[in-house]
Amino acid sequence: MSDDNLWYEGIPFPRVFYSPEILRKAREEFVMKDEDVVTVTFPKSGTHWLMEILCLIHSKGDPKWVQSVPIWDRSPWIETDPGFELANKKEGPRLLTSHLPIHLFPKSFFSSKAKVIYVIRNPKDVIVSGYFYWSSVNFAKKPKSVKQFLECFLEGNVPFGSWFDHVRGWVSMRERENFLMLSYEELKRDTEKTVEKICQFLGKKVEPEELSLILKNSSFQAMRENKMSNFSVVDDAYLVHKNPLLRKGMTGDWKNYFTVAQAEAFDKVFQEKMADLPRELFPWE
Catalytic positions = 99
Does an H or E element contain 181, and which? strand 179-183
Closest CA to 97 of 144, 168, 46: 46
Residue 154 or 245 having the CB closest to ligand PPS: 245
Residue 35 or 148 having the CB closest to ligand PPS: 148
Residue 125 or 210 having the CB closest to ligand PPS: 125
9: left (phi over 0), alpha (psi -120 to 50) or beta: left
Residues in the site for ligand PPS, rule: CB under 6 A?
Answer: 41, 43-49, 125, 129, 132-133, 218-220, 223, 245-249, 253
As measured in angstroms, the least distance from the Cβ of 214 to ligand PPS is 11
Residue 27 or 99 having the CB closest to ligand PPS: 99
As measured in angstroms, the least distance from the Cβ of 103 to ligand PPS is 19
Three-state secondary structure along 71-125?
HHHHCCECCCHHHHHHHHHCCCCCEEEECCCHHHCCHHHHHCCCEEEEEECCHHH
**Residues forming beta bridges with residue 12, ordered by sequence position:** 7
As measured in angstroms, the least distance from the Cβ of 125 to ligand PPS is 6
Range 65-83 burial, b when 16+ CB lie within 10 A, else e: ebeeeebbebbbbbbbeeb
As measured in angstroms, the least distance from the Cβ of 131 to ligand PPS is 9
Closest CA to 123 of 262, 278, 276: 262
Closest CA to 150 of 128, 165, 121, 132: 128
